[in-house]
Amino acid sequence: MKLNLFKKFLIALFLIALLPLVLSSAILFLNLRNTGTQLAAKISDATDRQASESLQSRARQIAEDVAQFLAETENDLRLVAALPKDSSTLSTFYDSRNLEIWRRAGSAEKPSEERVTIPIYASLELIDKSGRQRFVIKEGKELPAEQLKNVSIPSNTEFRSENYFEKTAALKKGGIYVSHLTGFHVAKKEQLGSASDSEHAFGGKEYRGVIRFSTPIYRTGGTFDGVVVLSLDHRHLMEFSQHVLPGSVEKTVFPSYMSGNYAFIFDDEGWIITHPNFWDIRGFYPDGAPVPHYSSSSSKEDVATGRIPFNLDFAGFIHPNYPVAARAVRERKSGYVDTTNVGGARKVMAYAPILYNSGEYSRYGIFGGVTIGFQTDLFHEPAKAATAIIHEQMRDHLKKSGLILALTTALALLAAWRISRGITRPLALLTEQARALAGGTGSSRVEISSGDEVGGLAADFNSMAAELERRNSHLLETLTELDRSRHEVTGERNFMEGVVNSISSAILPFSCSGVLISINTNGRAILGEAPVIGEHYRAVFDRWPELVARIDDTVAGVRSFGRSSFTADGRYFDVGVFPIGKDMEQGITVTIRDETEKERMREEMIRMDRLASLGKLSAGIAHEIRNPLTGVTLLLDDLHDRPEFDPESREMMGRALQEIERVEKLVNALLSYASPPHTELREGELNRVIEETLLFFRKACEKTGVSLLSTHADIPPFVFDQDKIRQMLLNLLRNSLIATGSGGVISVTAGIEDTMVVLTVSDTGQGIPADDIPNVFEPFFTRSQGGTGLGLSITQRIVEEHHGVISVQSIEGEGTVFTVRLPLPLRSEDT
């Protein structure tokens, strides 16, 4: 954009006054924004650290509680070892050890909670020195003698591979053996059932494992006399982690695994032993073999079925910090790390060791570790609130600064304008009159009375203007004559273009070199926007090689000029090639007329004539066959009832009667096709007709094991023949039922698209071969054993009687969809 002298003066003065203020405001704003960003980052870091340390403290507290619980269990074991070994005393002890558990009840639709008091120990065993159980209380009941086993043999133990008797028998007096968690693995499907995740799973299988606490019994003389065993019920261990609600002092009956906000416990070997997802807990197959841990090489089948107990030492492929946390716990350290669980939730995971060194846990001096996870995003809520306050303050400052800057800008602009106007006004007036002279408007005279150089320039300008006005008058007379001639030529050209555009054919003239000169409106309608003026006809018709070859032959003299038929893209055209001038000295003209609709109407008339003739022939044949067929039926029926015929003869006559009955059905179908009943149109509700038909048809589907589904939108009443539409729907449903085997599905839907009622019947059956689809509506065409081939022909005629359209889509081996579109007339209130 070119600037005049006034604008240059104005901009220069304006920038001198305003630029320092703008720069200082921008620097101040940037400093404030950087300060706000740094402050928000520090708040976020402090919040993350405080929240992580809070989770870590909570994990340590839970770890201490678990360690205390384990110590109390050892005390109970020592007490049992010291008690008299009669059943009454042992039963009294067992019944005195109970704790409450908090668990879900009800169903996913009506969830509830319950607090139940259960025994701390799943079982109490007294075993003799040979390994034979002498006394067992399990799940609150004393086992009869015939159920007692020799547990020195691992396969006789509850979980088919335990060796707690052997381990305990090798201990000295007062020694205690504590096993790792033992229990049958619970697969994913067993816990979830039909639920999507463990948070919404009710009534699924529960993990029932135990941790064995056992000590040897020695007689007074130091002779080994047996073993006493307390089996800690795993559900009590679950209570320590199951109800933790990270980020809140409240508790929950069951945590949300998908959110990442939950706690779990793992043992000193890295195996998870408490978790919302039971399939993540270590376990055994029914034969006693341990289920392998989840790893990057786990099979797709194991992952899908949930046979993937979780071991932190081998979970680095999910997140590298899982093994880090396990190693730190073995070093008796607490802390926190960033992780991502299998569900994809990003979280901070605090961990703390459970200090314990009895039995199998003496290797590291820990029972395992407690972890508490909390979503990372939730840590940042306080930082986000502080950042919002900072941004609000900055916006307020920016508004005030903007107001001050706007006022200063207005004052600076006003001052600069007054100074610039005083300097440039005389020059601007001279420039304005010079432009008026160039444009031929105004008096082209400059009124400046000053005696300086500007006044002299004004006098010379006035003299020049007078001479230019004289010459301009002469030139305007000449231009007026030329303009009149131009209008006449333009009118003739527009008339010719209107005539050409009104022709129903595409007209494309090409020069003698084959270049497109013009194209009319119908040419664009047929060829689209692709043809460009100046292109060669080979480029214009590049998608129709046959037409290009025809034009080449005509230009070369191999073919004569004139019209011929042409088919392309599924359309019919009448193409003409004609010379322009003698011997094509000015080029050629190509005309194209779309004959597609005319050809389709001709084919439809042929089809209608053929169907009409077929109907008359069918009616005649049906009438001629029915009478003798009735006589034959009566004679065979009479012969069938006579006693002198042997059973084999009567069976053959019975089969003959069945075949005659099938022929009679075919005759009735022919008569129905040849002489359809009169269409009775009256207003009705399509949805009601559909529901009545489906009610009638549902039992037939149930007998064959096919599911029948229906969905329909709200369709207003409209005029149609209810009986014929019902017949049409039954024909489509029968075809779907024949094609669909047991376990398949037939679906019926109804809705409205624009001004059409759309009814679809789909199935998951065997489908229709692609070669048969064009013939499915033809009379007597069928692939069904015993079918007449008239069902779909009658269906098509019913649809056409309602001025509708029926179409079919099918994939062989997958299913078929029939779509019926019926016009929905406008009601009076819609017009």
- Which whole-number Å values give the CA distances from 466 to 427, 444, 457, in the listed order? 20, 8, 15
pTM listed for this prediction: 0.47
Average pLDDT, integer, range 64-82: 96
- Of the candidates 730, 698, 706, 813, which has an alpha carbon nearest to the alpha carbon of residue 765? 813
Contact at 8 Å (CB) between 551 and 590? Answer: yes
Contact at 8 Å (CB) between 291 and 272? Answer: no
- Of the candidates 732, 722, 729, 736, which has an alpha carbon nearest to the alpha carbon of residue 693? 729
Average pLDDT of the chain to the nearest whole number? 83
Distance CA 250, CA 243 (A): 9
Q: Which residues contact 262 (CB under 8 A, 6 or more apart)?
A: 241, 244, 246, 255, 256, 276, 372, 373
Residue 61: phi, psi to the nearest 5? -65, -45
Residue 831 confidence (pLDDT)? 40
* pLDDT at residue 830 tops 60: no
| Confidence at 569, pLDDT banded by 50, 70, 90 | confident
Residue 350 confidence (pLDDT)? 93
Strand partners, 588: 510, 579
Three-state SS at 56: helix
Question: Structure tokens of 463?
Answer: 């003299």
* pLDDT at residue 210 tops 90: yes
Using only C-alpha atoms, the chain has a radius of gyration, in whole angstroms, of 48
Average pLDDT, integer, range 570-596: 83
Distance CA 113, CA 108 (A): 12
Distance CA 388, CA 434 (A): 60
- Most confident range (mean pLDDT) of 410-419, 582-591, 649-658 is 582-591
pLDDT of 692-710, one tens digit each? 999 888 988 998 999 999 9
Q: Hunting for tokens 């335990």 — which residue is that?
A: 162
Distance CA 84, CA 670 (A): 97
Strand ranges across the sheet with 815-823: 707-712, 745-753, 756-763, 815-823, 805-811
Contact at 8 Å (CB) between 683 and 718? Answer: yes
What single DSSP character describes residue 531?
Answer: -
453 or 808, which is more confident? 808
What are the strands, taking DSSP E only, across 434-548?
506-510
Distance CA 207, CA 235 (A): 8
Average pLDDT, integer, range 220-229: 93
H helix or E strand, kind and range, residue 362 = none
* pLDDT at residue 269 tops 70: yes
Residue 423 confidence (pLDDT)? 58
Distance CA 798, CA 496 (A): 50
Residue 828 confidence (pLDDT)? 42
What is the DSSP track for 329-346?
HHTT--EEEEEE-TT--E
Contact at 8 Å (CB) between 777 and 793? Answer: yes
Strand partners, 445: none
Residue 670 confidence (pLDDT)? 57
Contact at 8 Å (CB) between 398 and 31? Answer: no
Helix axes 5-82, 381-439, angle to 10 degrees: 160
pLDDT of 475-487, one tens digit each? 777 778 777 777 7
* pLDDT at residue 45 tops 80: no
Residue 299: phi, psi to the nearest 5? -70, 155
Strand ranges across the sheet with 121-128: 141-142, 133-138, 121-128, 224-233, 210-218, 177-178
Residue 343 confidence (pLDDT)? 60
Three-state SS at 377: helix
Question: Structure tokens of 125?
Answer: 């065993």
239 or 30, which is more confident? 239
| Confidence at 492, pLDDT banded by 50, 70, 90 | low
What single DSSP character describes residue 248?
Answer: S
Three-state SS at 18: helix
- Of the candidates 419, 181, 175, 136, which has an alpha carbon nearest to the alpha carbon of residue 280? 181
Residue 829 confidence (pLDDT)? 46
587 or 385, which is more confident? 587
Average pLDDT, integer, range 458-474: 71
Apex 598 CA angle, 594 and 602, nearest 5: 145
Residue 634 confidence (pLDDT)? 62
Distance CA 339, CA 376 (A): 9
Q: Hunting for tokens 């009679």 — which residue is that?
A: 664
Contact at 8 Å (CB) between 371 and 240? Answer: no
pLDDT of 289-328, one tens digit each? 999 999 989 998 888 888 889 999 999 998 899 999 999 9
What is the DSSP track for 713-725?
-----EEE-HHHH
Average pLDDT, integer, range 61-88: 95
* pLDDT at residue 121 tops 90: yes
Strand partners, 266: 272, 369
Question: Structure tokens of 596?
Answer: 């597609």
What single DSSP character describes residue 237?
Answer: H
Distance CA 570, CA 757 (A): 28
Residue 156 confidence (pLDDT)? 95
* pLDDT at residue 207 tops 50: yes
- Most confident range (mean pLDDT) of 1-5, 183-187, 417-421, 797-801 is 183-187
State what percent of residues in the chain have pLDDT above 70: 77
Contact at 8 Å (CB) between 138 and 132? Answer: no
pLDDT of 508-543, one tens digit each? 899 888 888 888 877 777 777 778 888 888 888 888
Q: Which amino acid is at 447?
A: E
Question: Structure tokens of 448?
Answer: 């400046």
| Confidence at 450, pLDDT banded by 50, 70, 90 | low
Hey, how many other C-beta atoms are within 10 angstroms of the C-beta on 152? 18
* pLDDT at residue 1 tops 90: no
Residue 538 confidence (pLDDT)? 84
Residue 754 confidence (pLDDT)? 87
Average pLDDT, integer, range 763-786: 81
Average pLDDT, integer, range 367-371: 97
Average pLDDT, integer, range 353-380: 87
Distance CA 727, CA 721 (A): 10
Q: What is the 3-state secondary structure (H, E, C) of 120-184?
A: CEEEEEEEECCCEEEEEEECCEECCHHHCCECCCHHHCCCCCCCHHHHHHCCCCCCCEECCCECE
CA atoms within 13 A on the CB side of 31: 6
